[in-house]
Amino acid sequence: MKQLLALFLASSVLSGCATIVGSETQRVRIDSFPQGASFVVQDESGRAVTEGVTPKTVELAKSDGSYFGKKRYQVMLERPGYVPVTFPLKESANLWYSLGNIPLGGFIGWLIVDPFYGGMYNIEPEHPQPFMNRVGARGG
């Protein structure tokens, strides 16, 4: 009985559900219509973290390592003959964080482990496909 209690306490103290199930990074497929646009992904400090040509799958960090430090990204697309497009990628707490800690009594996971790790977040959309308008095109 003592061993079971010690195991339960250790799992409650040392883990968070989103940390166990999730990961620190997420793959996001940057795309556009039409394809072949150059893109840059910037983080919340304005630093370019990745770039390429659509379509391309990139790996993005979900946390900056600070307490509840979710990353914020902005994607900028350019293609000759088309109006540049800029849009945000948003992060939100996933269900593993919201509900997964309940069965384990994971207040430590909710308040300490998961908020530093980043596994608690999902980056959305996972496959953005913005439409790029031709320069001089009129909307109808």
The distance of Cα 45 from the centroid of its chain, to the nearest Å, equals: 16
**pLDDT for res 88:** 97
Asked if residue 130 has a cis previous peptide bond (ω within 30° of 0), the answer is no
The answer to whether 16 and 119 have CB atoms below 8 angstroms apart is yes
- Spell out the alpha helix ranges (H) of 22-113: 95-98, 107-108
DSSP 8-state code for residue 65: S
If one looks up domain 8-124 in CATH, what number appears? 2.60.40
**Residue 137 gets which letter from DSSP?**
-
Say what the pTM is.
0.71
User: What are 33-83's pLDDT values in tens digits?
Assistant: 999 999 999 999 999 999 999 999 999 998 887 776 788 999 999 999 999
Confidence of residue 122 (pLDDT cuts 50, 70, 90): confident
Is it the case that residue 108 has pLDDT exceeding 60? Answer: no
Q: Using an 8 Å Cβ cutoff, are 28 and 62 in contact?
A: no
Q: How many CA atoms lie within 13 A of 101 on its CB side?
A: 24
Kindly tell me if the per-residue pLDDT of 20 is higher than 90: no
Cis peptide before 128 (omega within 30 of 0): no
Enclosing H/E stretch for 123: strand 121-124
